[in-house]
Amino acid sequence: MNDFSIIKTQDVWKSYKSDGVKTQALRGITFDIKKGSFTSIIGPSGSGKSTLLNIIGFLDLPDKGSVFLEGQDTSLFSFTKLAQIRGKKIGFVFQQFNLINHLSALENVALPIILQGADENDAKERAASLLTSMGLKDRLKNRPSQLSGGEQQRVAIARALANDPEIILADEPTGNLDSKTGKLVMEIFKKLHQSGEKTIIIITHDSNIASYSKERIVIEDGMVASNHLANEKLLWKKY
């Protein structure tokens, strides 16, 4: 890991209105995520984690404050450029897997490559290689309904890697998995980080999952409660 910030938030605020009631989800969030780091953003339900994921994944915009990507203020970017960033620089992994049910594992992984303009055969070749690296060589033609939860999440991780993004952003990636399968999935993220080529960001409520990361940012009530390196002696809450 180097000292260059790949993502930096500066005094980020975000609120929502529902039935006329305003909810302040984020309250002046400021932190840096270093290029090549493995960071967990941890906090209880309702702390603002999901809102923060949307902000740093450029799926939503803050009400005020700034989000910097590799030193550039993304508030100056067009919606088209933000969409390009999501497609090329960020790979998303979700708790619900979010696979397309009528597509095979191979087709699910190849699709984002094709959407970036690649030849279909080349896309399927890369997808097959990624799935094989996830131990799914014999599952290429299977649809999501024919796969276990752990297999579906490995397909989702392969899909996140499809366009060789610099950042992997995972939202509760073990939330729908048993503990044994969850550990296997976290080992995949650990190996990706050890390769030295990816910045890994895990959103979680589970301190056991956060323990895999080198850096941890604790979010409570929409604010940064603490920001620590993993080698510091901390007493972690079990949310």
Higher pLDDT, 194 or 104: 104
Return the axis-axis angle of helices 149-160 and 120-133, rounded to nearest 10°: 130
User: Which range is least confidently modeled, 7-11, 46-50, 141-145, 164-168?
Assistant: 46-50
Residue 225: what pLDDT? 87
Please check the confidence at residue 57 and state whether its pLDDT lies above 60: yes
With vertex at residue 164, the alpha carbon angle to CA 162 and CA 168, rounded to the nearest 5 degrees, is 90
pLDDT of 18-54, one tens digit each? 888 889 999 999 999 999 999 999 999 889 998 999 9
Bridge partners (DSSP) of residue 5 are 34
Which amino acid is present at 207? Answer: S
- Residue 87, classed as helix, strand or coil, is helix
Closest C-alpha to 144, from 184, 176, 182, 114 = 176
pLDDT of 208-220, one tens digit each? 999 999 899 999 9
Which amino acid is present at 236? Answer: W
Bridge partners (DSSP) of residue 214 are none
Mean residue pLDDT across the chain: 90
Alpha-carbon gap, residue 161 to 198, rounded angstroms: 10
Q: How confident is the model at residue 229 (pLDDT cuts 50, 70, 90)?
A: low
User: What integer is the mean pLDDT of 151-176?
Assistant: 94
pLDDT of 112-163, one tens digit each? 999 999 999 999 999 999 999 999 999 999 999 999 999 999 999 999 999 9
Bridge partners (DSSP) of residue 201 are 39, 169
| Residues 6+ positions from 196 with CB-CB distance below 8 Å | 36
Please check the confidence at residue 233 and state whether its pLDDT lies above 50: no
Residue 234: what pLDDT? 41
User: What integer is the mean pLDDT of 94-98?
Assistant: 91
Strands of the sheet containing 223-229, edge to edge, are 90-94, 167-171, 199-204, 38-42, 215-220, 223-229
User: What integer is the mean pLDDT of 193-200?
Assistant: 89
